[in-house]
Each structure stands twice: as structure tokens, then as C-alpha cells.
Amino acid sequence: MSNIHEVARHAGVSPATVSRTFRTPELIAQQTRRRVLRAADTLNYQPRVRAAGLEADTHSESVTAAIGFLLFTEDPDSGEIDEFYAPILMGAQAEADRFGMHLILRTASRFEPPRETHRPGAPATLAGSLLVGSAEPEALAAHDCQSRIAVLVDNRDRTGQRDCVVSDCFGGMQAAVQHLLDLGRRRIAIVEDVAEDHRRRERLQGYRHALWEAGISPPLQWIVSAPPSAGLTPYFKLLDTPARPTAIAVASDASALAALAACRALGLCVPHDISIVSFDDTALSRQSYPALTTARVNKAQMGRLAVRQLAARIREAEENVDPLPCSAIVVPMSLIVRASTGRALGEDAASGHPRPD
């Protein structure tokens, strides 16, 4: 009986493509699939099917691609996965399982290149990698060079040379601010992270666009940049003034907790005196008091879409076909309305600022 390598040579494809033709035919182009099946029939090839739950025989002819899930974090040695990224990992794992791929999780510093290029026990070569989270260009470039095929997740490639899967931060913030406007709020501030990444830029654009559409030009002091480590200080500066805003859009659920604490310290009632909207819809948004109105993205779907895109790129490389142009897959966000936002009272609903020139 012939083996997988003979079939691959006869069909003019790689052994991995032969394996996936039988394991996950939906990943293989119809013309290639027919060529492989004809070769298998001609050579009387019978593929081996590995029983679920059993370790692979080291002499097995079945080929399972290994792909990386590289998560950029501030502290890669902590072993912790941010609550935002855990569902992305779960979605990616589920999709990798469906495609018969082995997903390998690693963490890396978002600030500096890797200290090592290979870890004991890890495959010497990955078919491709998901590069997850924001990272400094030097760190991203180093890992990108190690991965022949890569898809960015929750990060954009400004050069257009890499596929990416991102959430619609512009649309999410625009919807959040529009919700506040619909409640009669006009004096709306935003507190953003200091990190210069696509999420910050797009949220600020969504904030400004929603206010511009309403004919409102926010004062510069209502656009605040502060790291999460700043604690309550930015909110005290923003709120402990006579002309304070009556609503705040915050970059994350974690930062919104600081906003709630500052409001309590200043004797401001949420949502009556001030409304707060946040981003991410993590468990914090449901456990806080009051529960946070927040913009939600289907994080597991981001992971699934990223693996699908990576699988498509791997297939292109294996079949030696001209690759399609790189694409940015934007996953929409929806606003989850909870108790931290409410209708404006008093003169706020009637106040405003002129439309900018």
C-alpha cells in the first residue's frame, strides 16, 4: 500500500495538503482536492484516522499542523491571561480543533524582542502564528520574522502587509456616545489610555465624530489621557470643577471602576449626576455597582475568524498559489446598556457647544 508522501508527489502537493484533504476537506480548494483524491485512488492509498483522545503515533503518516497563539503582555512571566484575551484564545482553540490543528500558546513582552527563539518541547517549525494584542514595532517585527505566516489579532497593520482581526472600536465608541446623547447628556468627556495604538485612535475618532454629528465641540480638558496606574487622580481633576462633564466614556471596564470610585468620593451619584460608559464587557462590568453600560465585541468570534484566516493563508502557501491581498476583518461591537447610564437631569440636556469649523 502506498503512503502519504507518494500521494503528495503524484498529486504535486505537500503531505500536509493530502492529510487535510481527508481530515478537513473544506479547507482545500476543489481543484486540488480532486487531484489528491485521484492520486489516492490511483495509488490505492487508505488514510489513517487517529482515534480521538489518543496520542499520535510517532510513525503515523497523518500530518497535523502546529500553529502559534502568541499573546503580547506587559508581564509575560506572570503566566496570566488578560480577561479580554481569554475568550479569544478559547475561540481560536475551538476553531483549530475543528481544522485538525494543534494550537500552541506562548506569551511575550509587548515592549522588546524575544529572548529566545525556540522552547524545549515546542515544534521546531510552526505552520503559522496568531500575533495577539498590541506590541512595540520592534517586538512585533521580531516575532513576525519567526512566523512565515502570521495574522494579527486585536492589532492593526498600518502597512497593509499582514492580515488582521480587530474589533470596531470606532463604531463601539460612536454608539456609546450616541447613547449618552440620546439620554440628553451633552457635556461628555473621554478618558483614554496613553498607549498609542489603533484602539485608542479609533475610539477617539468615534467620540469626536458622534459629538460633531450632534453639533458639540468638547473642550480640550474633557479629552484626558491617563494610564490605568494613575488611579483616581485623572477623574478627580476632571470632575472636581464647577463646569464638570455629566458623562464620561472610559477606555476599559477596569478604568471605569476608578471612575466610579472617584464619583463616590466626590459625592456624585451614578447615573443621576453623571453617566459612565466603558469598553470590553468583562466580568468587572457586571460585578461593579452600579453595573456598567459597556461596548461588547464577540471575543471568541475574533479568535475563530483569526484561525480561519490563518488556515486560508497556510493553504495558499502549501498549494503554491498567488496569495489574495491582505485584509482587515472588523468584528462589530454592540452596546450593553446597564445601570451606569441614565437620563440627564437639569440644564445639561439643553447645554452644548457650537459645532467646530
Do 26 and 139 have their domain in common?
Answer: no
Q: Bigger pLDDT: 212 or 16?
A: 212
The three grid cell numbers given for residue 151, joined into one nine-digit string: 495574522
Q: pLDDT class for 76, splitting at 50, 70, 90?
A: confident
Residue 185's identity, in one-letter code, is: R
pLDDT given for residue 41 in this prediction? 83
What string of DSSP letters covers 72-118?
EES-GGG----TTHHHHHHHHHHHHHHTT-EEEEEEEESSS--S-S-
47 has a pLDDT exceeding 70 = no
- Do 174 and 293 share a structural domain? yes
Tell me, yes or no, whether 275 and 186 share the same domain.
yes
Rounded to an integer, what distance in angstroms lies between the CA atom of residue 230 and that of residue 202? 22
Residues 277 and 288 in one domain: yes
For residue 189, pLDDT over 80 is answered with yes
Strands 328-331 and 275-279: unpaired
Which backbone phi and psi does 129 adopt, to 5 degrees? Answer: -140, 150
Which grid cell is 75?
508581564
Question: Exposed e or buried b for every residue in 28-51, given b needs 16+ CB within 10 A?
Answer: beeebbebbbebbeebebeeeeee
Residue 21 lies in a domain: yes
Going by the DSSP 8-state scheme, the letter that residue 270 receives in this structure is T
193 and 218 share one domain: yes
> Residue 187: which of 122, 243, 115, 262 has the closest Cα?
243
Alpha carbon distance 101, 95 (integer Å): 8
Helix, coil or strand: residue 317: helix
The yes-or-no verdict on residue 57 having pLDDT over 90 is no
Q: Which of 297, 319, 347 is the last residue of a domain?
A: 297
Percent of the chain with pLDDT over 90: 53
Same domain? For 235 and 288 the reply is yes
pLDDT digits 0-9 by tens, 97-123: 998 899 999 998 888 776 655 554 455
| Residue 192 pLDDT > 90 | yes
- Domain count of the fold of the chain: 3
Structural domain contains residue 350: no
Cα within 13 Å of Cα(41), Cβ side: 6
H-only helix segments in 240-298: 253-265, 283-287
Alpha carbon distance 43, 280 (integer Å): 54
Does residue 54 fall inside a structural domain? no
Instruction: With respect to residue 291, please indicate whether it lies within any of the assigned structural domains.
Output: yes
- What the block records as the C-alpha cell of 229 is 496606574
Identify whether residues 158 and 213 lie together within a single domain.
no
- Domain end position, chosen among 250, 275, 297: 297
Residue 343, domain member (yes or no): no
Q: How confident is the model at residue 135 (pLDDT cuts 50, 70, 90)?
A: confident
pLDDT value at residue 315: 84
- Regarding whether 75 and 129 lie in a shared domain, the answer is yes
Q: Which domain holds residue 17?
A: 4-43
Report whether pLDDT(149) > 50.
Answer: yes
Identify the band that residue 40 occupies on the pLDDT scale cut at 50, 70 and 90: confident
239-297: per-residue pLDDT in tens? 988 889 999 999 999 999 999 999 999 999 999 999 999 999 999 999 999 999 999 99
User: What CATH number did the domain enclosing 181 receive?
Assistant: 3.40.50.2300
Residue 327 and residue 274 share a domain: no
The answer to whether residue 60 scores a pLDDT higher than 70 is no
Q: Enumerate residues 6+ apart whose C-beta is below 8 A from 90.
A: 300, 303
Q: For residue 186, tell me if it sits in a domain.
A: yes
Give yes or no: residues 315 and 275 share one domain: no
Residue 159's pLDDT is 79
